[in-house]
Amino acid sequence: MDLNFNLLSCIISLVQDKPDPIEPIIVTSVSDDRGEETTYRGESVSRLIEEGKTLEEVICLLWTGKIPDKTTSEIVRRILILTADHGPLVAGAYATILATSAGLEMLQAVAAGVQMIGPRFGGASGAAAKQFKFSVENYETVDQFVIRLKTEGIDYIPGIGHKVFSKSKPDKRVKDLINFVKKDAKKTLHLDFALKLEEELLKKNEKLILNIDGTIGAVLLDLDFPLESIDGFFILARTIGLVAHYIDQKQRGLGLIRLPEELVLYKSS
């Protein structure tokens, strides 16, 4: 009897002293590699390959949790191709080229270019989408939109304007993307607002065009991509071009780039 009582006491003690369950550090629904093969959002990698899913479809699956329809997939394909590169003069490409000339390897050189992506270079899609989304959801007019941004202390309109392109010198990338979307997309509420905004702003200055960042932001909203995903499209696409610039410079074996004296203005203060 005493033995059974002592055993029961030990069991009760062990149960009472059991440590609290460990709280997970990460909660994720993106992928799972615990089984025989990795799954993306519950879809096995081998099945995605066997069913002939495209890279665009896999991007959408990972970023949104859904396989896109053919129109969405085609628009994503076009966005990635249109923004993969835009010459060596822009901030990202120049940074990668400069870093490569300094002897850095691919990881560091490409990262230098990616770090340039921001409000003035390639990173305006998300900011523009945020503003367009608010306007559409709150039924703002173009005038109300402009006044609100001024009230909020925003001194530029994300997704509007370009250093090179203008009304008289349009960006063919923008024109082609808009034409395709207008022809095939089911809804274009955000793109329509962005185009109305451009129409009004061009009355003041022919440089205030809807640029590729603003167009992409509006189009992706109309395709129901979350705001958090939108800047990812430019980052992903432009990385392709930055890798190309790294390869090109390495193969050319050019030395360290130094700015010519005439490009620097020295001032006393």
Residue 110 region by backbone torsions, left for phi larger than 0, else alpha for psi between -120 and 50, else beta: alpha
pLDDT for res 11: 61
| pLDDT score, position 79 | 97
Which of 85, 66, 115 minimizes the C-alpha distance to 225?
Answer: 66
Hey, CA dihedral for 265, 86, 80, 165, is it positive or negative?
positive
User: Nearest to residue 197, comparing CAs of 169, 217, 179?
Assistant: 217
pLDDT for 8: 61
Interatomic CA distance for residues 146 and 107, integer angstroms: 41
- Comparing CA positions, the residue from 216, 224, 223, 227 lying closest to residue 171 is 216
pLDDT of residue 235: 97
pTM metric for this prediction: 0.87
pLDDT in tens, 200-259: 999 999 999 999 999 999 999 999 999 999 999 999 999 999 999 999 999 999 899 999
Tell me how far apart the alpha carbons of residues 212 and 128 are, in angstroms, rounded to a whole number.
11
Distance, CA of 30 to CA of 264 (rounded, Å): 48
Q: Assess contact for 217 and 177: CB atoms under 8 A.
A: no
In angstroms, rounded to a whole number, what is the distance separating the alpha carbons of residues 145 and 135? Answer: 7
* Confidence (pLDDT) at 75: 97
Domain ranges in the chain are 30-68, 91-252
Q: Which pLDDT does position 153 carry in this prediction?
A: 92
The stretches in the chain having pLDDT less than 50 are 1
pLDDT at 10: 62
Q: DSSP letters of the chain?
A: -HHHHHHHHHHHHHHHTPPPPPPPS----SEE-SSSS-EETTEEHHHHHHTT--HHHHHHHHHHSSPPPHHHHHHHHHHHHHTS---TTSHHHHHHHHHHHTT--HHHHHHHHHTT-BTTBB-HHHHHHHHHHHHHHTT--HHHHHHHHHHTT--S-TTB--SS--SSS--HHHHHHHHHHHHH-S--HHHHHHHHHHHHHTTT-TT--B-HHHHHHHHHHHTT--HHHHHHHHHHHHHHHHHHHHHHHHHHT-------GGG------
